[in-house]
Structure 1
Amino acid sequence: MYTSFDIMDSPVQIPFKSFIQIKANDATPIYLQVIFEFIKAIQLGLLPEGTKIPGTRVLCKLLEINRNTLIKAFEDLESQGFIEIRPNKGTFILSDQKQHQPKRGASKSVEVGVQAFTFKHSSVLESPLEWSNLPLQFNDGLPDLRLIHTDILARLYVSKLKRQKIRQPWEQIQTQSHQHFKKQFFNFLNLTRGLRISEANLLTTTSHEVSLFLVAKLLISAGDYVVVGTPGYYLSNMTLTDSGAKIVPVPVDEEGINVEALRKVCEAQTIRIVYLTSIYHYPSTISLSAKRRIEILELSNQYGFVILEDDYDFDFHLDNNPILPLAAIDSNERVVYIGSFVRSLPAGFGYGFVAAPAAFIKELEKHLSILEPGIDVIKEQVLTDWIQDGEVHRLSKKNKVIYKERRDHFASLLNAKLESRIRFKIPARGLAIWIEWLDSFNLIRMQKKCAENGLFLPKTVLYQSKNFTATRLGFGSLHLQEMEKAVEILAKSLDAVIDY
């Protein structure tokens, strides 16, 4: 479903200790730790469907735990439908769409406790993100914070704050300021993304993640089937799963999500949502072809599913012909469009948004008023001025030149240092390149070699299964000299792993 280790001939070879981490001094019982760690590994794709798990005696030695503890954990995992224990054959990982129905009382949220009270522990929302102090780091496609003019933003914010005069009730000031901001914002979206929305079709939030959380809360009921492209985006899949969705992965090829496979899924079961990163698929950077865009809209009308279109990276179109979202050509109101705004600004200044039918937006506003009851009037006034004055367009144009240069330089370095060992296409948008490795090796071993040489590769950019070995390497946060060092380390580490 997401990042995954190679399925090796012997299950003992799988590096379980690298992702099943048991803490002896933790207050959580050992068997619960085993359950949480296995569920997290399955949902992140570290243990793909069909993977055979070593016998309990072997695995106990690998993890250094008691066999009875492991057996108890496996019984719980089987009752929840994450594994299948086949007599005389072994224990196997089940995929999300083939999981058994949980036994009565089983749940992905387990009651754990401290000395004074119990609480629910989510096995779905365990963060896979890692941090490192190494001098060089790849990420999955983040902008370079060093390019942000924080001094200009600070002056604008302070200036607005000083000029703010309270001459009417604060609630009235908030309402008027927010309405003015939304007017500028929906005009901006209509102009840049080809939408045809009004203020009633737009909800703004403090972040893209909040937008997705709210939409999932309203659209998904427990047990609803949600289609996602695979390989897919681990964070959005976690949000969808936590909302009660049963994830149904559909493969992505050179034209985007496979429509024929999607059609077969729709014929087999009722699909509630098809989640798409249509403009710039995460992680493979593929754009959904024009033909498939039309086909998916037609399938939506035929089978009644909602298209949840996630345009997380529109700000970084590096060519002169930006692809418009499905929402721009949706005439039947079947698309809920979420995205981010000015990702090149510091996190506190960015915005998330939802564009959808007015009735749906009105319902979202009820939930947002509880989750985010206050409005940062000063921030909205600053961004309103930036839109009106054209500063957002100037910033986007300036950054586009910088990131395009970095993309082209990164591609040339990859061709020069790794030409015969990788396959990739230069993306027209976004700040990452999807690289497929042609050699057979273990990505975790290469990750460790890179770290030894001063380059950090988080596990969330590593993708490995029976069919491919790939990485999603973000170039946006590295300047040209840093790129050169990083690619040299990649090539050196690959040589070391291949010779291993």
Structure 2
Amino acid sequence: MQPLNIEFNEQHKAKYLQLAQALRSAIIKGDIAVGTKLSSAREMAKIYQLNRHTIMNALQLLVAEGWIESHERSGYKVIQTLPIQSSADIKQVPTVTPKPYKFAKELAVPTPAMNLNNFKYNFAGGLPDLNCFPYREFKRSVSYVFNHLDTSQFHYGNVAGELNLKSQIGSYLHKARNLKTTDLLICNGSQEALFLISKVFINNGDYVATETLGYPPARKAFSACGAQLIDIKQDEYGLCVEDLKAQLMSNKIKLLYLTPLHQYPTTVTLSPTRRMQIYQLCYQYDVLIIEDDYDHEFHYRCQPLQPMAADDPAGIVIYLSTFSKIMFSAARIGYICASAQVIEQLSAWKQLMNHKNDVVMQLAVANFMQEGAFERHLKRMTKLYKERYEQMSASLIKLQSNGLPIEFKKPDGGMAMWVNLNKPVHGLKNALQKKGVYIQAEPEFYYKEAARSLIPKQQSYIRLGFAGQSTQSIQAGLELIAKHVY
């Protein structure tokens, strides 16, 4: 074999790898033909001025990859059947036209994640202040997990969640929401919860009812699983019971999706009377209610109403919530409360998807709750968010006093406000982003296939989150918005 001209000049790459790469490349190009006997390791060591062990390592790598073979007493030869279709004998690789993929159901391309840190004024609704989370305190809970390690918990199993965390959440829900849980499932946030529920209950063509203005990711989950969506009218007090009744009489609706404590996006709290009327209708027409209680903790003017699931004698409410608003979304801790039969089916589907949640995170959050740090953090954040809630209200009132036609109703709680600018908001979101301001605008909360009669011609509302930025930023950001709009 003729020596190769090899320059060993890659400082951060082992020399045996550089030699193997050079020999491999020569074989692929046909410079070393199939069946060629290679020089002995001793000769190659002299030629390339390398240690014999370096040569042997390179040759053994090529043997493992299938480029050469070792013969006792006769040394190494290039293998007769190469593991590729490139050699000196192949003159041209035929042109191949890729065929289109046959997806079972093609979804829209995922929306690129937006870096909200790029905005000077961030009014994203439902965004907690991540700078205020007690990371050092939580780190102690993570350390506790590894200092008291039970390796059996690191195996497959406990699909529905670690018992420690389920117990802590169950106690917390009973204490804070008067919700007694028979069983619950830990999942990767509320979106996985919505998708699991959809897979369990929705057959192709089933009807799912949602409010006309609603949470887009929920609609996408229902639709992706084959649901036909029906929009229910809303008024200033929330979902319209009469329209729900009319739709139930006209369509075989299987599921009703609600955000009754702080309606998404309008922040309206559904009254006890309407809740009872909705519950009775759903029971009468055999409809399950999905109650998404995404930010129950943050209520400022009064005690929050207990969830619909807390008074559910018929067992028709599937309750879900998340720690994303209390902690941070990257923790991926959500949960579903429902009857044992429902949890069993949800768990079976979850096992098909991803087996279980991050065990270390589950155990750390369980310890965080058990030690009281969770509730201490929650109290601090509720106090802080109330200050920002008051600042948002005061800043909006100040703009009103300056003669601007802004209208809003101060909600009882939540992390955002629904504000009527009395000006068309189409294109406003993109325009403000160029000025370093992030908002959510009314058009993005309608279902694109909703009945045109339910969507007003003039859309003038924006959703302004106040929890994730300082009172100074809230005031300055609102002034910038007003200056642009008016």
TM-score, normalised relative to structure 2:
0.72
Q: Check conservation: 1:226, 1:245, Cα contact below 8 A.
A: yes
Partner Cα distance (1:177, 1:231) in 2: 33
Partner Cα distance (1:172, 1:457) in 2: 42
Counterpart of 2:130, as a letter, is L
2:142 is the counterpart of 1:157: yes
Match of 2:274 in 1: 292
CA displacement at 1:269 relative to structure 2: 1.5
Partner Cα distance (1:177, 1:366) in 2: 12
Counting only pairs closer than 5 Å after superposition, residues 52-201 of structure 1 correspond to structure 2 as 115=98, 118-120=101-103, 122-124=106-108, 126-127=110-111, 130-131=114-115, 133-164=118-149, 166=151, 170-171=154-155, 178-198=162-182, 201=183
Counterpart of 1:140, as a letter, is G
Q: Check conservation: 1:125, 1:238, Cα contact below 8 A.
A: no
Paired residues in the alignment total: 378
2:468 is the counterpart of 1:477: yes
Counterpart of 1:248, as a letter, is I
Partner Cα distance (2:440, 2:246) in 1: 35
For the aligned residues, what is the CA RMSD? 2.7
For residue 431 of structure 1, the aligned residue among 415, 434, 439 is 415
**Against the structure 1 CA distance between its residues 360 and 289, is the aligned structure 2 distance closer, same or farther, given a 3 Å change threshold?**
same
Counting only pairs closer than 5 Å after superposition, residues 7-22 of structure 1 correspond to structure 2 as none
Counting only pairs closer than 5 Å after superposition, residues 281-360 of structure 1 correspond to structure 2 as 281-341=263-323, 343-360=325-342
CA displacement at 1:149 relative to structure 2: 1.9
Partner Cα distance (2:318, 2:159) in 1: 25
2:448 is the counterpart of 1:466: no
- Secondary structure of 1:283's match? coil
Match of 1:251 in 2: 233
Match of 1:457 in 2: 439
Counterpart of 1:428, as a letter, is D
2:360 is the counterpart of 1:378: yes
Match of 2:345 in 1: 363
Match of 1:209 in 2: 191
Deviations 1:342-392 (A, max 9, x none): 632233335111111111111111111222324533322222222222222
For residue 426 of structure 2, the aligned residue among 433, 443, 446 is 443
- Secondary structure of 1:421's match? coil
**Against the structure 1 CA distance between its residues 264 and 164, is the aligned structure 2 distance closer, same or farther, given a 3 Å change threshold?**
same
Q: Check conservation: 2:424, 2:459, Cα contact below 8 A.
A: no
Match of 2:221 in 1: 239
TM-score, normalised relative to structure 1:
0.70
CA displacement at 1:232 relative to structure 2: 1.1
Deviations 1:247-299 (A, max 9, x none): 11011212210000000111111111111111111000011111111111110
Match of 1:400 in 2: 382
Partner Cα distance (1:433, 1:244) in 2: 33
Partner Cα distance (1:337, 1:236) in 2: 14
Q: Check conservation: 1:141, 1:473, Cα contact below 8 A.
A: no
Q: Check conservation: 2:261, 2:304, Cα contact below 8 A.
A: no
**Against the structure 1 CA distance between its residues 227 and 159, is the aligned structure 2 distance closer, same or farther, given a 3 Å change threshold?**
same
**Against the structure 1 CA distance between its residues 282 and 318, is the aligned structure 2 distance closer, same or farther, given a 3 Å change threshold?**
same
Counterpart of 2:180, as a letter, is R
Q: Which moved more, 1:383-392 or 1:171-180?
A: 171-180
- Secondary structure of 2:226's match? coil
CA displacement at 1:461 relative to structure 2: 7.6
**Against the structure 1 CA distance between its residues 260 and 363, is the aligned structure 2 distance closer, same or farther, given a 3 Å change threshold?**
same
Higher radius of gyration, 1 or 2: 2
CA displacement at 1:339 relative to structure 2: 1.1
Counterpart of 2:219, as a letter, is N
**Against the structure 1 CA distance between its residues 172 and 434, is the aligned structure 2 distance closer, same or farther, given a 3 Å change threshold?**
closer
Counterpart of 2:167, as a letter, is K
**Against the structure 1 CA distance between its residues 347 and 219, is the aligned structure 2 distance closer, same or farther, given a 3 Å change threshold?**
same
Counterpart of 2:136, as a letter, is D
Partner Cα distance (2:470, 2:160) in 1: 42
Q: Which moved more, 1:399-408 or 1:308-317?
A: 308-317
CA displacement at 1:447 relative to structure 2: 3.6
Counterpart of 1:473, as a letter, is L
Q: Check conservation: 2:184, 2:336, Cα contact below 8 A.
A: yes
Partner Cα distance (2:157, 2:142) in 1: 17
